[in-house]
Structure 1
Amino acid sequence: MNNNKLLPPVAQVGCALIALLIMGCGSGQSPTGKPAGSPPGSRSSPPGMGGGMPVMVITKRVAPQSFIDRFTALGTARANESIEVTARTTSIVTRINFRDGQQLRSGDVIVELDARQESANLSLAEAQLTQAESQYQRSKALQATNVVSAADLDQLEANLLVARAQVRGAKARLDTLSVKAPFAGTVGLRKISLGDLVGPDTIMTTLDDTSVIKLEFGIPETFIGDVRTGMTILADSTVYPDQRFEGTVSSIDSRVDPVTRAVTVIATVPNGDGLLKPGMFLTVALERQRADVLLIPEEALVPREGRQYVFVVEDGKAMEREVTIGRRAPGLAEIRGGIAAGELVITEGTQRVRSGSAVQMAPNS
Structure 2
Amino acid sequence: MLKKIAVSPVIIAVILSLMLLFWLFSGDNYSAKEQAPAQQQVPEAQLAQVETRWSEATPYQLTQIAQGQVLPWRSVSIKSQQAGTVKALLKQQGDTVQPGDKLLRLSDEGRSARLAQAQANLKLRKTELDSARALGKAQFLSATELTRLESELAQAEAELQSAALAVNQTEPAAPFAGIVDRRHIEVGDFIQTGTELMQLVQIDQLKVTAQVPQQHIAGLSEGQNVTLRLLDGRELTGTLSFISYAADSATRSFYIEVTVANPQLWRIAGASATVEVQLTPVLAHLVSPALLSLDNNGNLGVSVVNEQQQVVFYPVQILTADNDGARVSGLPARSQIITQGAGFVQPGDTVRVAGATL
Q: TM-score range by the shorter chain?
A: 0.7 to 0.9
After TM superposition, the structure 1 = structure 2 runs for residues 308-347 of structure 1, keeping only pairs within 5 Å, are 312=304, 323-330=314-321, 331-336=325-330, 340=332, 342-346=334-338
State yes or no: 1:301 paired with 2:295.
no
**Aligned residues of 2:85 and 2:189 also touching (Cα < 8 A):** yes
Q: Using a 3 Å threshold, how does the CA distance of structure 1 residues 361 and 174 change in structure 2: closer, same or farther?
A: same
Q: Which of 216, 233, 241 is 1:250 aligned to?
A: 241
Asked if 1:267 corresponds to 2:252, the answer is: no
TM-score normalised by L of structure 1: 0.71
Do the aligned residues in 1 keep the contact of 2:86 with 2:105 (CA within 8 Å)? Answer: yes
User: How far 1:76 moved relative to its partner?
Assistant: 0.7
1:80 corresponding residue in structure 2: 73
Cα distance between partner residues in 1 of 2:290 and 2:117: 90
When residues 247 and 142 of structure 1 are mapped into structure 2, their CA distance, relative to the original with a 3 A threshold, is same
- Once the two structures are superposed, residues 303-360 of structure 1 have per-residue CA deviations (whole angstroms, 9 ceiling, x without a partner) of 5898756565799x9x987552313224333253xx655442255xx5x996479985
Name 1:115's counterpart in structure 2: 108
| Residues 165-219 of structure 1 deviation map (CA, whole Å, 9 limit, x = unaligned) | 2111111222222211111111112221112122344222200111210010111
Rounded to whole Å, the distance in 1 between the matches of 2:314 and 2:134 is: 99
| Structure 1 vs Structure 2 CA RMSD | 3.3
Distance 2:316 2:262 in 1: 41
Whether the 8 Å contact between 1:74 and 1:217 is mirrored in structure 2 is yes
Counterparts of 1:1-365 in structure 2 under 5 Å?
Answer: 60-239=53-232, 241=233, 243-291=234-282, 293=283, 295-299=285-289, 301-302=291-292, 312=304, 323-330=314-321, 331-336=325-330, 340=332, 342-346=334-338, 350=340, 355=344, 361=355, 365=358
Q: Percent identity of the aligned residues? A: 23
**Are 1:300 and 1:345, in contact at CA under 8 Å, matched by a contact in 2?**
no
Tell which deviates more after alignment, 325-334 or 186-195: 325-334
Relative to 1, partners in 2 of residues 1:258 and 1:158: Cα closer, same or farther, differing over 3 Å?
closer
Q: Against the structure 1 CA distance between its residues 86 and 258, is the aligned structure 2 distance closer, same or farther, given a 3 Å change threshold?
A: same
Extract unaligned runs of 5+ from structure 1.
Answer: 1-49
1:134/1:300 CA distance change after superposition, 3 Å = same
Alpha-carbon distance in structure 2 between the residues aligned to 1:67 and 1:304: 24
Aligned residues of 1:108 and 1:180 also touching (Cα < 8 A): yes
1:62/1:340 contact within 8 Å kept: no
Provide the rounded CA distance (Å) in 2 between the counterparts of 1:312 and 1:78: 50
Q: Which moved further from structure 2: 263-272 or 171-180?
A: 171-180
Q: Secondary structure at the match of 1:189?
A: strand
One-letter identity of the residue aligned with 2:291: L
- Letter of the 1:245 counterpart: L
CA gap of 1:189–1:353, structure 2 versus 1, over 3 A, is: closer
**In 2 relative to 1, CA 156–75 (structure 1 residues): closer, same or farther, beyond 3 Å?**
same
Could you say which residue in structure 2 is the equivalent of 1:19?
Answer: none
Give the C-alpha shift of residue 284 in structure 1. Answer: 0.8
The CA distance in 1 between the partners of 2:343 and 2:141, in whole Å, is: 117
**Cα separation, partners in 2 of 1:141 and 1:295, compared to 1, 3 Å:** same
- Which ranges of structure 2 fall in alignment gaps of 5 or more residues? 1-45, 346-350
Of 97-106 and 144-153, more deviation after overlay is shown by 144-153
CA distance in 2, matches of 1:159, 1:335: 78
Name the SS of the counterpart of 2:92 in structure 1.
coil
Change (3 A) 1:327 1:139: same
Distance 1:276-1:225 versus aligned 2 partners, 3 A rule: farther
CA deviations on 1:244-266 (whole Å, 9 max, x unpaired) are: 31111111122212332211100
Letter in structure 2 aligned against 1:88 = Q
Stretch deviating more after TM superposition (173-182 or 319-328): 319-328
Aligned residues: 300
> C-alpha separation between the residues in 2 aligned to 1:314 and 1:206?
67
Shift of 1:146: 4.7
Partner AA of 1:111 in structure 2: L
The offset of 1:276, in angstroms, is 4.8
